[in-house]
Structure formats: C-alpha cells, structure tokens
Amino acid sequence: MKKYLFAVLITVKLLAGLASPAAFAANDVYPHYLEANSIRYESFQTRNPRLAFDVVIAYVNANVDRGFYAGILTVSEPDNPGVLVNKNFALPRNYEPDDLVYVSGYYRLRTEAADQLAKMRSDMNNAGLNVYVMSAYRTYQSQSSKYENGVMCYGRVSADRQYARPGHSEHQTGLAVDIVQRTNISSMTQARFENTREFAWLLENAYKYGFILRYPKEYTDIHGFIYEPWHWRYVGPEIATTMHDEGIAMLEEYYGRYVAPELAPIAAP
C-alpha cells in the first residue's frame, strides 16, 4: 500500500515536471506570455514560421492574428501619444484632439508632436537637409472621403492597402505626419523619398524626437498597407527609444509586449 502511494506521488511529480516548461516560459522567458492566448500563439506561429516565438506572442497580444478589420476594438485612451490605431483598433468616431496647432500651411498636429517635429526639422536644416509636410491631422470625415474616393478609383481591395478606413487612420490622432523632401509632390516623389539623404537621416535619428517609421517595407503583411516611407508617427521619445534599442519595428509588437500584458495580467498559476 505504501509502495503504491509512493508510485502515485512520483507520477504526480513527473506530470508536474512535464507541465513546468510552459509555466516557466510564461513567467520567465516570455514575460508578455498570456495563458489565455496560448492556442492563438500556436496557430499564428504555424502560419508565420519566419517569426520568432516572442514576436508571435506580441503580435497575437495585439490581435494581429484576427485579420484586418475583424474583431475591431475601440481604443480607450485616444489622447495617449502611444495609442495603437490600426485595422483592428479604432478611434472613437467623434474623436478630435483638443490641442492641435499649425505646423505648416493648414496642416495641424497635436502640440507635443508639433514641437518635436519643429525641433527635428531644425536639426535637419543644420545638417543641410530639408523636409516638407504634405499631410498631418485629418478628421474622421476627411478620412472617410479619402477612403471612399480610393474605393471608387481603385476598388476596395486596392484602396484598403493605400488608405485606412475612417476611424482607423493614425492621421485622426493628430500624431501622424506625412513628409517628403520636395514641395512639388507627386506619388513618384513620395515613393522615392526612401532614396533620399533625408530619409536615411530620419531612419537613424527620428526616434530621438519620438517619431517612428510606421509602415516599413518588410512588414506589409502585419500593417496591411503599402510601404510608406513618408508616413511618420509620433509616439514620444520614450517608446521610440525602447523600440529602437530593442529592435522593435512595429508599434503592434511594442503594444503586445508592454501594453497588452498590463491590461490583461498573467493569470496566477
């Protein structure tokens, strides 16, 4: 009898031992691992074998695996400079920042973003470089016309790769700015911006002022837009520096690592 009980205890201990790698992974190796998402992690990893598992965890935490415009959530802190707005996270329909200021012509940004942009442009000028603003804040209504016009011209599939649907545009946050190197703007000039010294400077330095390249070339399957070298998003120097130092290319990854786990704390084992 005693022998039998001992055997049972050993078995229990072995089973606990088998279960421990997951618990260990959740708590130590992947601090952003959320038990509730474990099945989604596996599924997204299978569909994206090129991604490292810690990146998979982050993207799933940010609902990237849901698919574009599926399971849409409305952001709760639209005024937060780090706010994630994309095809899965929408701004409240009537959201309009209350601290917009003019940055160039009739283009406006929120005060903090405008100040940092001014500082950045001034440092660029000192380095013999110039950029011009070609778009900044847009209302829900102006984004709506832009998108609907795109659908009429190119069809919905193509329009969705070029324009965010209303409520899903970073331009409505007052934190996104489109910049180019010349004043005579054409789509050609826009696309060629990536070959300029200005763009190279931004890639190296924009994070110090709190700006990130929001739609990089290598991540079109994650953000769902065409590559946009002209679209820069203000997130604040703290987040931008963390992203730079840790090699985090997408705001979705940052959100999945540092914001989502705070919103849904890891369940106690």
Residue 231 within binding range of Zn ion, rule CB under 5 A: yes
Residue 91 · residue 172 · CB < 8 Å:
yes
List of E strands, 47-191: 73-74, 89-90, 100-104, 107-110, 132-135, 176-180
Residue 41 · residue 57 · CB < 8 Å:
yes
Q: Please name the amino acid found at residue 225.
A: F
Looking at beta carbons only, is 38 or 220 nearer to Zn ion? 220
Q: How many residues bind Zn ion (CB under 5 A)?
A: 2
Pick the catalytic residue from 170, 228, 252, 253. Answer: 228
Q: How far is the CB of 220 from Zn ion (least distance, A)?
A: 15
Q: How far is the CB of 27 from Zn ion (least distance, A)?
A: 39
HSE at residue 249, side-chain half, CA atoms within 13 A, is 10
How far is residue 68's CA from residue 83's CA, in Å, rounded to a whole number? 18
Instruction: Return the range that interacts with Zn ion (CB under 5 A); candidates 28-36, 61-69, 91-99, 224-232.
Output: 224-232
What is the per-residue burial (b if ≥16 Cβ within 10 Å, else e) of 234-263?
bbbbebbeebbeeebbbbbbbbbbbbbbee
Q: Is 228 a catalytic residue?
A: yes
How far is residue 56's CA from residue 268's CA, in Å, rounded to a whole number? 22
How far is residue 127's CA from residue 208's CA, in Å, rounded to a whole number? 16
Residue 121 within binding range of Zn ion, rule CB under 5 A: no
Looking at beta carbons only, is 108 or 231 nearer to Zn ion? 231
Residue 175 within binding range of Zn ion, rule CB under 5 A: no
Residue 146 · residue 138 · CB < 8 Å:
yes
Instruction: Return the range that interacts with Zn ion (CB under 5 A); candidates 22-30, 37-45, 65-73, 225-233.
Output: 225-233
Instruction: Return the range that interacts with Zn ion (CB under 5 A); candidates 65-73, 88-96, 226-234, 259-267.
Output: 226-234
Q: How far is the CB of 169 from Zn ion (least distance, A)?
A: 8
Region 40-99 residues binding Zn ion, contact defined as CB under 5 A: none
Region 176-215 residues binding Zn ion, contact defined as CB under 5 A: 178
Q: Is 25 exposed, middle or buried (0-12, 13-18, 19+ CB in 10 A)?
A: middle
Looking at beta carbons only, is 26 or 250 nearer to Zn ion? 250
Q: How far is the CB of 116 from Zn ion (least distance, A)?
A: 17
Q: How far is the CB of 248 from Zn ion (least distance, A)?
A: 20
Which residue is closest to Zn ion by CB? 231
How far is residue 168's CA from residue 174's CA, in Å, rounded to a whole number? 13
Looking at beta carbons only, is 37 or 116 nearer to Zn ion? 116
* Residues noted as catalytic: 228
Give the interface with Zn ion as residue ranges (CB under 5 A).
178, 231
